[in-house]
Amino acid sequence: MNALIDAKDLFEADPGFLNTASYGLPPRAASQALDTALAQWRRGSTDWSTWDAATDRARAGFARLLDTTPDHVTISSTGAQLVSSIATALPPGARVLVPDIEFTSNLFPWAQAATVETAPPERLADAIHPGLDAVAFSLVQSATGQVAALTDIITAARAHDLLVVTDASQAAGWLPFTTDGLDAVVCSAYKWLMAPRGAAFAYTSPRLRERMRPLAANWYGTPGHAGYYGLPMTLSPDAAAFDLSPAWFCYVGAAPALDLINELGVPAIHAHNLALANRFRAGLGQPPGDSAIVTTPGADAAKLQAAGVRAAVRAGNLRASFHLYNTTDDVDRALEALA
């Protein structure tokens, strides 16, 4: 398979869907796996271990995506729950720095646990100072598509021994990065990872986990998921101690989607998505950018809708986002509608 030419044939996307930043579309293999699981549930033709195997496969797929190992990956249902769990690592009276336009799932949990300071995303590294305990930020901002200066932020944070937590919900699956220098990477998988909503992952470093408390401790966090009844509470020695009991069908869909991303490779997906995004920018009279998300003020979203183009409006701006199932035809259809 010529990955970037033929990938669109692995999807059933209608033309004009430019809204992956809101939710991604499943590859055919993912939707078929989910259909099979729903049929099994309907008929009672299998036990849950079949679906749980997909959960293990999805965890391994996410670990591979970030060049880490599954024992460092926690599963959940939402990014906000994962951030809330990570926030238990903070000491009393902690102070956390976040961007001033941060999506609330990576803001409200910190506001519940600490005193929050804010700075513009482009000045986040410069705003790091002694007295902070953590810096938390989206790797790609939901409202604007702005890509964080990851290396600068990590360097500044390490100089003051801060915890470094990033939300990669708008980045994982198209933007190449690893866990180097990061204490946590949180990701809601229903966007660029093209999974059903209800699958979420977090990489957590050992130094972070030793400070965390498993507020949502449950049977699934026990070794081998075998802690069904009674005390004592014995949790897994790795990141699985912080697992939520999985919404199985979401992971049935997540596993083949992650398999596809890893097969194609994030660098190739990155190049594909940026080429489309920059074609769109050029048509709007904007300079090239480094994000698969394009925002533009003053665009008439109703014109796009009338032309069968699905995008979003965020912070008063039109937001279009490009992924594997998109082609130049999608870009040109949107530009013609806006012309």
Region 232-245: what's the mean pLDDT?
A: 97
Q: What is the pLDDT of residue 31?
A: 97
Q: What is the pLDDT of residue 7?
A: 74
Single out the residue in 261, 280, 311 at which a domain terminates: 261
Output the domain CATH number for residue 272.
Answer: 3.90.1150.10
Whether residue 62 sits in one domain with residue 17:
no
Q: What is the pLDDT of residue 9?
A: 86
Whether residue 283 sits in one domain with residue 218:
no
Amino acid residing at 233 = M
Compute the distance between CA of residue 19 and CA of residue 145 in angstroms, rounded to an integer. 12
Q: What is the pLDDT of residue 4?
A: 56
**Burial, 4: exposed, middle or buried (Cβ in 10 Å; 0-12, 13-18, 19+)?**
middle
SS3 73: strand
User: pLDDT confidence of 22, banded at 50, 70, 90?
Assistant: very high
User: pLDDT confidence of 2, banded at 50, 70, 90?
Assistant: very low
Whether residue 156 sits in one domain with residue 87:
yes
Region 311-338: what's the mean pLDDT?
A: 94
- Cβ-contact 153, 125 below 8 angstroms: yes
Which segments of the chain does DSSP mark as H helices, in order? 3-6, 28-43, 49-65, 79-86, 108-113, 124-127, 150-159, 206-209, 248-264, 266-284, 301-306, 328-338
pTM over 0.85, yes/no: yes
Q: What is the pLDDT of residue 298?
A: 78
pLDDT in tens, 122-176: 999 999 999 999 999 999 999 999 999 999 999 999 999 999 999 999 999 999 9
pLDDT in tens, 86-118: 999 999 999 999 999 999 999 999 999 999 999
Whether residue 318 sits in one domain with residue 199:
no
Residue 292 CB partners (closer than 8 Å, separation 6+): 20, 140, 145, 174, 175, 192, 270, 273, 274, 276, 277, 321, 322, 323
pLDDT in tens, 246-296: 999 999 999 999 999 999 999 999 999 999 999 999 999 999 999 999 999
Name the least confident of 148-157, 218-227, 307-316, 327-336.
Answer: 307-316
Output the domain CATH number for residue 209.
Answer: 3.40.640.10
Whether residue 114 sits in one domain with residue 22:
no
Whether residue 330 sits in one domain with residue 201:
no
- Domain count within the chain: 2
Whether residue 228 sits in one domain with residue 94:
yes
**DSSP, res 140:** B
Whether residue 212 sits in one domain with residue 285:
no
pLDDT in tens, 23-44: 999 999 999 999 999 999 999 9
Q: What is the pLDDT of residue 1?
A: 36
Whether residue 274 sits in one domain with residue 242:
no
How many Cβ atoms from other residues are within 10 Å of residue 48's Cβ?
A: 12
Single out the residue in 218, 242, 261 at which a domain terminates: 261
Whether residue 111 sits in one domain with residue 254:
yes
Query: Largest alpha-carbon pair distance within the chain?
Result: 66
pLDDT in tens, 188-230: 999 999 999 999 999 999 999 999 999 999 999 999 999 999 9
Q: Give the domain extent around 314.
A: 3-26+265-338
- The pair of three-digit structure tokens given for residue 96, joined into one six-digit string: 């956390």
Q: Kindly report the backbone phi and psi dihedral angles of residue 162, in degrees, each rounded to the nearest multiple of 5, phi listed first.
A: -85, 150
User: pLDDT confidence of 5, banded at 50, 70, 90?
Assistant: low
Beta bridge partners, 147, equal 140
